[in-house]
Amino acid sequence: MKTKNIIACKESAQGTNHLYAVDPNSRAKLEGNFVIATDEEIDQAAESALQAWQTFKNTSGAEKGKLLRTIADNLENLGDTLVHRAMAESGLPEGRIKGERGRTCGQLRLFASLVEEGSWVRATIDTAQPDRNPIPRVDIRKMYQSIGPVAVFGASNFPLAFSTAGGDTASAFASGCPVIVKGHPSHLGTHALVSQAIADAVISCGLPNGIFSSINGGANEGSMLVKHTAIKAVGFTGSLAGGNAIMKATYERDEPIPVYAEMGSINPIFLLPSKLDGDQNSVADQLANSINMGVGQFCTNPGILVIPPSKNQDSFLEVLGQSFDALKSHTMLNEGIYNNYESSKSKMIANQNVRSISCKSTDNTWSAQPALAKTTAQEFVKNPDLHHEVFGPFSMAVVCDSVEEMKAVAQHIEGQLTATMMGTSEEIERHTEIIETLREKAGRVIFNGVPTGVEVGHAMHHGGPYPSASSSKYTSVGTDAILRFVRPICLQNAPQSILPDALKDHNPLKIWRMVDGAQTKEVI
């Protein structure tokens, strides 16, 4: 296994300091001492990316599609070598890693299809009207173009799908932006394998080597990377503290740049009476399994359950507690996440207005015990400390005595990635005021489902108001993720010879365009 940094698709090891990965199950050191990138290597990566961008930004959709498909092929060709290393570094089971590899390759190929078709640039043309009165109209044409080199940070909880070749890298490459990835310190071997697969794809496709680099390091290396003048945007998936630190670093630049940070949330689920009055066991198992999925280490993990007024409140919470009691503990991703989970969980349960429903003792082996607590709606509304995310298999039942209290809970939650309402169609129709509030608070509103599970497609929006994300306008999942790394360019009265193909009269790309207010593929 290669343990060096990759600078402009070539191995580099100028530094003398190293990192190593740890198996969270055995807590043993894994093979490989990975060289931490030096300041000079980070500077070289950034400058190489900026130079390569001059070519890559004009690369055709067909060429970018070939790159993305080749990366996917290379990842699959790594076979069990990649799967077993990712399992060892994350503690996640084989089925989960193979599923995540499939998702990673699937989104690479989805973006390949997007750029090969080409209409994503949203070409818009207002043709000249020299005879218009009282003022003639000039020829105006607009489209999206890439913004420059992008810094990507690997995520702790998705070693493949949100890391080195994840959605940030795929969408940045699709837009025509070079990428520099800082691998997550927990997944150094996985990062190295995937980085080499990407570098090999760049070289085999004959693209400029500078469009890809990967570095090892910690907070200092990450800060230097995002402060480099060549970097024009940042993609990040992780904690609120981590996202805020990156945003702070970019604010200190002479030229501030956008940070697209997805930072998690408590993803409230609002239950309606039918869910308490019907098959309680089925509902309780559905909720408990969702909360414990992936050991609760999903950004869409349901952190609060809003319990409606019902004669069956107590019996439902008892059944839900039994579902939690039946869950098994599983190893968390790393020591830091485990310690933070135990600390945050204990702090929640220590509140005098919170009562534990299910909370087993831990044996301190990085293995998280699922936990359920409850509080009143009144206490939740007045105590912001109860709104904080507990990253792990924990949820808080917020018990309401009236619909008005449910409304108050909805109004007092912060920005969320998701919010869910579960009930019959007739019940849901009677609670439109809560639904409207949830639409203001969340990026995705779910009905009669659970939020754990984010489809990679065209309609998906995985983002939300702060603090769930740095910008509610953009998504980190789905084809619209490409919009983070582009900006509109408007060309007025430009000669045909200098127009990009997407804006030329004869439409050589044969893409859909908006011409004089109408969608068409026709020539002008």
Per residue in 255-269, pLDDT (tens digit) is 999 999 999 899 999
What are the CB-based long-range contacts (under 8 Å, 24+) for 134-138? 138/492, 138/493
Q: What is the DSSP letter of 135?
A: S
For residue 193, give the 3-state DSSP assignment: helix
pLDDT in tens, 3-18: 999 999 999 999 999 9
pLDDT single digits (tens) 191-233: 999 999 999 999 999 999 999 999 999 999 999 999 999 999 9
Structure tokens at 152: 């990507």
Question: By C-alpha distance, which of 32, 14, 309, 334 is closest to 154?
Answer: 334
Give me the mean pLDDT over the 172-187 stretch: 98
pLDDT value of position 399:
98
In the chain, what are the domains? 5-263+474-484 (3.40.605.10), 269-447 (3.40.309.10)
Helices of type H across 252-333:
273-277, 280-292, 313-325
Mean pLDDT of 311-327: 97
Identify whether the C-beta of residue 85 lies closer than 8 Å to the C-beta of residue 189: yes
| pLDDT value, residue 365 | 87
What are the backbone dihedrals phi and psi of residue 499, each rounded to the nearest 5 degrees, phi first?
-70, 145
27 in helix, strand or coil?
Answer: coil
The verdict on whether 490 is a catalytic residue reads: no
Question: Which runs of E-coded beta strand occur in 20-178?
Answer: 34-35, 124-126, 140-146, 150-153
Q: Work out the burial of residue 414: count CB atoms within 10 Å of its CB; fewer than 13 is exposed, 13-18 middle, 19 or more buried.
A: middle
76 has catalytic annotation: no
pLDDT digits (tens, 9 = 90+) for 418-466: 999 999 999 999 999 999 999 999 999 999 999 998 999 999 999 999 9
Active-site entry in 41, 100, 221, 262: 262
Residue 185 has pLDDT above 90, yes or no: yes
Beta-carbon contacts of 370 under 8 Å, excluding residues fewer than 6 positions away, are: 288, 291, 292, 296, 324, 327, 329, 358, 360, 393, 394
Catalytic residue (choose from 9, 105, 177, 299): 299
pTM of the model: 0.96
Cα–Cα distance measured from residue 315 to residue 318, given in angstroms and rounded to the nearest whole number: 5
Q: Quick check: helix, strand or coil at residue 490?
A: strand
